[in-house]
Structure 1
Amino acid sequence: MNKMDNHPLRRSRAFLTVFLKEVRENLRDRRTLTSAFLMGPLLTPLLFVMIITVTINRELDKAEQPLKVPVIGAQYAPNLLGALEAGGVVPQPALADPERAVRDQQADLVLRIAPDYPKAWRKGEPVQVELIYDSSQRDSSTPVERVTRLVEGYSRQQGAMRLIARGLSPALGTPVVVAKRDQATAQSRAVLMFNMLPYLFVLTIFIGGMYLAIDLTAGERERQSLEPLFANPVPRWKIFLGKLAAICAFSTASLVICLVAFSVVGGFIPTEKLGMEVHLGASFALYVLLLQLPLIVLLGALQSMVAAFAKSYREAQTYLSVLMMVPILPSIALMVMPLKPQNWMYAVPLLGQHLGILDLVRGEGVAAVPLALCLAGTSLAALLVTLVTMQLYRSERLAISG
């Protein structure tokens, strides 16, 4: 009588038997449990929230705290220096080589006032001040914007006073005024900060099922346990579907843990300080789970297919590590080439999920047509990859190691 790890396979319940066997065995595997239920789903939200929170608080502190700026030629524009000091700038002694000091990150920026500033000012001519900075240094952007805003404000104020002194209305200096009407809501602005959230969810799914997919194909092939399994009088497609169901179960559990973690730690992100609002609660989690269900099957089948070509566990790890780069492509594409979402885009696997999750973050929800296209397109891709992997399971070479 054929046996499979002391669990007899029967045609009527082969799928369920394989599924329960793989789940039970891998629940005892520390490496699989760590990757599926700890590393991705728990650490990812914590790290994401920590980075966002530190970044927000740091930028806000830099915008509010006194800003030390070395000033060259401070004696030529005492009134300008007074306006800067009123705005929180603390003038520092001049530097001998400001360009080198900025390049060496000894100063975020340096303000230089030319010696002819007083003469041009008395004649009522335009005067120029220089801001020396290095735009490649991330820390320089906030100080530069802050000083620029103060100088421009001082310039507008002095220009208005010059017009008044000549008996003219200050409005003559601004014949055209732009009235900005920002239609963004507090929730829609959160997309700017949470643009990588869809990728994090996909990565959680991928990692959650990766080690299980490797173990159930290349791992068993290396241990030479696939051959006795295939010797049972059971269609191989049932064996594969049982294994695929186990992979999807671990990936789904990993995603659920990640969503719960985000709903908990998301409330600690100080988005209100930036005029943003984000809701990562139960409704958001349910919609994300719905969008990702066909993708879970697609990634599980794809991982199984790639791992089936590997002859060892380590070789399969290498292949799937390369495959892990695929889910980030939609995120990179949308950052490099911002596109206006169109319905057909939702039918593209990964891209559709990315756009749908951003719609949820924006607070708009996913419309019926995009939602249907997203589910249908990814489901079709999952079906095709599953059928191809089924064909691989029919090959006798799959059971042979070495």
Structure 2
Amino acid sequence: MREIFAIYWKEISDAMRDRRTLMMVLASSLLLVPMLLFVFSTVMSQVESQAVDRSVMAVNMKDAPGLENYILRQGYQIKQAPVDYEEKSRSKELIKPVLLIPAHFEDDVAQLKRVELEIAYDTSNRQAEMGLNPLRRLLNGYVQERSGLNLMMRGVSAELLQAVVVKERHISRPDERRVTITGMLPMVLIMAIVMGGMFAAIDSTAGERERGSLEPLMMNPVSGLQLAIGKTAAVATVSILIVVLTVSSFFPAQSVIANEALRAEFQFGVKDALAFLLVLVPLAAALSSLQVALSLTCKTFKEANVRNQLLSLTVSFLPLFFILNPGKEPAWLGWVPVMAQTQMMNQVLKGELVGANSIGIALLVSCVIVSGSLLFVSRKMRDVVME
């Protein structure tokens, strides 16, 4: 045990002296989540600002007095679009779509002619695009009202064309939380774990091989298993530290949320933090052991960095399953590392109770990964020196 602790302390000291590791720990754990929540809330605020902005930018509204009357009755203001609205939309100066009304609009509608209303906006202008849906709903309301009036003038009730009324009934629990863009946070957390422990794993294995310091270490009276446990435990400590700091950053991150709806949705308490730690700590240990095993097969730091980047890419693709397949998750998902943890973290964000069976399966899989990686590293350690 003394030998393992000595190796562990040596690797931890080396990792803390490595500026890349320190910067990754600080950047990924303390700044990432607050920055993402701030960006998410800003985007949501922009969308909502377009939804609550009760104004319509129009061209040639004088030829549509009926439409103008309807828009004003809905509580909207009508603003004349600038002559160079196309150029201003391209340059992002104009952040609203523009309603284009053709000449003789009112006369053509009165004669029951087919008339087209155009909505002009630049597709690269995201803020203008956010105002499309409110304007479309407003115009659809006008079309329905106009159609109803035309039918009534001919003695036909508009209700005959609306024999079926569709209503929504929400069956979610009252205490269930909504998860929208915050559903991306589990993916961010997992990537922080992978990237945070990567440099420590590479430096303690391939880095030492490249520097020639691994052979003198093996000359000490320690076994390959002791070396494997000491090095893996050091890298796992760095990853777990990132987990703890990242989850802790959720609390101050709530104060930088610039959107009221997102602030109400993102209710993260102490129980949620403990549940996240229970889910992520075993995964951090498993991924760290895989990184150590993968890096030990490389002779140079650069080669190990490339292979670990491929591992990171693979891990980042796994949570995409929930985006591509939003239905009910299959039972085998609980046995797949990363995907099982993503599923459980989404349950925590929704306010659901994570089952003990799911936690037990994830812990068992993580233990198997750690045990297999330690066995591989302990056997590979002696072969590396003989190469």
- Where on the TM-score scale, by shorter chain, does this alignment land: which range? 0.7 to 0.9
1:80 aligns with 2:67: yes
Moved more, 325-334 or 211-220: 325-334
Q: Which residue of 1 aligns with 2:323?
A: 335
Cα distance in 2 for partners of 1:166, 1:235 equals 96
- Is the contact made by 2:41 and 2:262 (CA closer than 8 Å) also made in structure 1? no
Query: What is the CA deviation profile of residues 273-330 of structure 1, one whole-angstrom value per residue up to 9, with x for unaligned ones?
Result: 3695222221111111111222112211111122113323333233323322122112
1:234 aligns with 2:234: no
The aligned runs of 1:261-300 (5 Å cut-off) are: 261-270=249-258, 272-273=260-261, 277-300=265-288
Cα gap change, 1:156 to 1:68, in 2 (>3 Å): closer
Query: What is the CA deviation profile of residues 55-96 of structure 1, one whole-angstrom value per residue up to 9, with x for unaligned ones?
Result: 12222222233546342x433312213433542442315669
Decide which of 59, 70, 74 is 2:47's aligned counterpart.
59
Decide which of 30, 33, 46 is 2:22's aligned counterpart.
33
1:371 aligns with 2:359: yes
Cα gap change, 1:274 to 1:238, in 2 (>3 Å): closer
The aligned runs of 1:40-119 (5 Å cut-off) are: 40-65=28-53, 67=55, 69-71=57-59, 73-85=60-72, 86-93=75-82, 109-115=97-103, 117-119=105-107
1:361 aligns with 2:331: no
Cα gap change, 1:278 to 1:366, in 2 (>3 Å): same
Q: CA deviation at 1:332?
A: 2.5
Moved more, 238-247 or 224-233: 224-233
Cα gap change, 1:261 to 1:186, in 2 (>3 Å): farther
Moved more, 281-290 or 352-361: 281-290
Secondary structure of the structure 2 residue equivalent to 1:285 = helix
Moved more, 255-264 or 293-302: 293-302
Q: Which residue of 2 aligns with 1:13?
A: 2
Secondary structure of the structure 2 residue equivalent to 1:194 = helix
Cα distance in 2 for partners of 1:283, 1:88 equals 47
Cα distance in 1 for partners of 2:240, 2:310 equals 22
CA RMSD of aligned residues (A): 2.9
Secondary structure of the structure 2 residue equivalent to 1:69 = strand
Question: Which sections of structure 1, spanning at least 5 residues, go unmatched?
Answer: 1-11
Q: Which residue of 2 aligns with 1:304?
A: 292
TM (norm. structure 2) is 0.87
Q: CA deviation at 1:392?
A: 1.9
Decide which of 247, 269, 286 is 1:259's aligned counterpart.
247
- Is the contact made by 1:347 and 1:378 (CA closer than 8 Å) also made in structure 2? no
Decide which of 293, 307, 310 is 1:322's aligned counterpart.
310
Cα distance in 1 for partners of 2:157, 2:282 equals 65
Question: Which sections of structure 2, spanning at least 5 residues, go unmatched?
Answer: none
Q: Which residue of 2 aligns with 1:208?
A: 196
Secondary structure of the structure 2 residue equivalent to 1:131 = strand
Decide which of 160, 169, 181 is 2:169's aligned counterpart.
181
- Is the contact made by 1:244 and 1:300 (CA closer than 8 Å) also made in structure 2? yes
Secondary structure of the structure 2 residue equivalent to 1:291 = helix
Cα distance in 2 for partners of 1:135, 1:187 equals 39
Q: CA deviation at 1:137?
A: 4.8
Cα distance in 2 for partners of 1:48, 1:399 equals 47
Q: How many residues align?
A: 384
Q: Which residue of 1 aligns with 2:379?
A: 391
Cα distance in 2 for partners of 1:88, 1:50 equals 31
Cα distance in 2 for partners of 1:43, 1:285 equals 17
Q: Which residue of 1 aligns with 2:185?
A: 197
Cα gap change, 1:224 to 1:95, in 2 (>3 Å): closer
- Is the contact made by 1:295 and 1:379 (CA closer than 8 Å) also made in structure 2? no
- Code of the residue aligned with 2:362 in structure 1: it is C
Q: CA deviation at 1:167?
A: 5.8
Cα distance in 1 for partners of 2:22, 2:310 equals 22
Cα gap change, 1:292 to 1:354, in 2 (>3 Å): same
- Code of the residue aligned with 2:42 in structure 1: it is V
- Is the contact made by 1:14 and 1:234 (CA closer than 8 Å) also made in structure 2? yes
